[in-house]
Structure 1
Amino acid sequence: MTKTCLIIVDGLRYDTALSDCGYLQAAVEAGHARLWQMQSELPTISAPLYETIHTGLPPVEHGIIGNEMIRPSNKPNLFSILKQAGRVTGSVAHCYYHTLYGGSSFDPFEHGEINDPDAPIPHARYYSMEGYCPENSAMPAEVDLCAQVWGIARDHAPDYLLFHTSSCDTLGHWFGGESSEYRIQASKVDIALARLVPRLREAGYEVFVTADHGINSDHHHAGDQPELRQVPFYVFSDLVDAPAGEVLDQKSIAPTVLKLLGVDLPDTMRAPTLC
């Protein structure tokens, strides 16, 4: 059994990770991490892919096909399975994750910070980005989010820790996936991760860094374009492996996390594990 942290950089394209995420690429060059390309499921929309990443099911099977259809997950997922197994989970993420896995619709006054051993996710911090628009991106600072992740890891040492940041997706929507604004934001996320990932590794965490989907030059994501489906999968771990150059299956993330934690996989998780 080993502690695992999954970092989801919302909207981060594979090619942008290669060109603008200097820390992550340096970690690969130095042998501290390895990188694979991963293929997102369809549709390439956030809430459906959050659920895919956590259930190992494609959207057409788990039933969340768009952000407008978000509801509590009704499939075995990492948070529910680990809760039943007596493991501890934590999350710093967009409020969609509370709706999916936190037990109710999100209320910013009640659910912004959770420390409750009986809660579906016992240790959680959520941001809403309510009212975000081109004039007000409403993004938390990346280093502040990373500090919250570290606080949960340091104080509670959850077996599974999720960190989800939305800023690349936000700038991609406003300026497009080919814009300098989008690429610069990817580098800012990368710089913040350079301050977090080594701390997590020293604390005994296996760390994965990936994305739900990319974004195109139309400021959009949903379809089957390569820039939408090709996302990075960085692995800071000696326990995970796959053939070099292989394109990995996004549905493999959930069963891989469970296998690392020594928890039995449900029948619904059919994708091969990466360990």
Structure 2
Amino acid sequence: MKVVLVLSDALRYDVAVAGMGFLGHLVEVKLASLYKVIGELPTMSRPMYETVHTGLPVTEHGVISNRVVRRSKVPNIFQAAREAGKTTAAAAYFWFSELYNRVPYDLIDDREVDDESLLVQHGRFYTQDFYPDIELFVTAGMLVRKFDPDYLLVHPMGMDDFGHKYGADSNEYYRNAVHQDVALANLIPEWMERGYNVLVTGDHGMGANKRHGGTTPDVREV
């Protein structure tokens, strides 16, 4: 089984359902399923990156806040895949490089890696929250065509960036969900033809107050 996980940072459930028409179409014609997930706490990025990739709550994996900057200390998806002889890849924010490859992150050496000894063997990482989602999705498409990874993480930051700037009830936040859907419409059919199972979700949601981290449905439902 080959898997692409699209972990859209701060993509909340209701906006995804309302604004992502291509994904909705796949559900409507029974080529995909839709589930509401109640995210773990705290609804912060680095702890949830680790929870998603280990299946553990923060009190067990130890990444309790965004300020915990270290490699993962527990079994995770990248490790399991590599140990099984699978190929791993990621187009993602640099915090994933810190969690699963090495710390500290080197802006030059770690931006692009192709090293079978690493947990993320083929990594393309970015450091700016406003890095364009479309460029990130194109990079993901390249990784599929070039390396045919068994596990690919695709991690755009646009929803989080627009949410923090304008709030989750803004036109900017909603419009970016539509833009991500259009980008995925250009990628998912090819990925499905190549035998991938594609998962699309968020690590947490976003509030109208431009914040997340708490316990309310707007920041937990993805």
The Cα of 1:139 is off from its aligned counterpart by 2.1
Secondary structure, counterpart of 1:61 in structure 2: helix
Counterpart residue number, 2:131: 139
Counterpart residue number, 1:20: 19
Counterpart residue number, 1:83: 82
Counterpart residue number, 1:126: 125
Amino acid at match of 1:182: Y
Aligned length: 222
Counterpart residue number, 2:48: 49
Amino acid at match of 1:181: E
Are 1:206 and 2:200 matched, yes or no?
A: no
What's the Cα RMSD here? 1.1
- Residue 148 of structure 2: which of 149, 157, 165 is its match? 157
- 4+ residue stretches of structure 1 with deviation over 2 A? none
1:52, 1:14 → 2: CA distance? 18
Counterpart residue number, 1:101: 100
The Cα of 1:68 is off from its aligned counterpart by 1.2
* Per-residue Cα deviation, 1:39-72 (whole angstroms, up to 9, x for no partner): 1000000000000000000112111111111311
Secondary structure, counterpart of 2:211 in structure 1: coil
The Cα of 1:119 is off from its aligned counterpart by 2.2
Unaligned runs of 5+ in 2: none
Q: What percent identity do the matched residue pairs reach?
A: 39
Unaligned runs of 5+ in 1: 133-137, 232-275
Does the 8 Å CA contact 1:103/1:120 hold for their aligned counterparts? no
Provide the TM-score with structure 2 as the length reference.
Answer: 0.97
Secondary structure, counterpart of 1:148 in structure 2: helix
The Cα of 1:104 is off from its aligned counterpart by 2.6
Does the 8 Å CA contact 1:139/1:167 hold for their aligned counterparts? yes
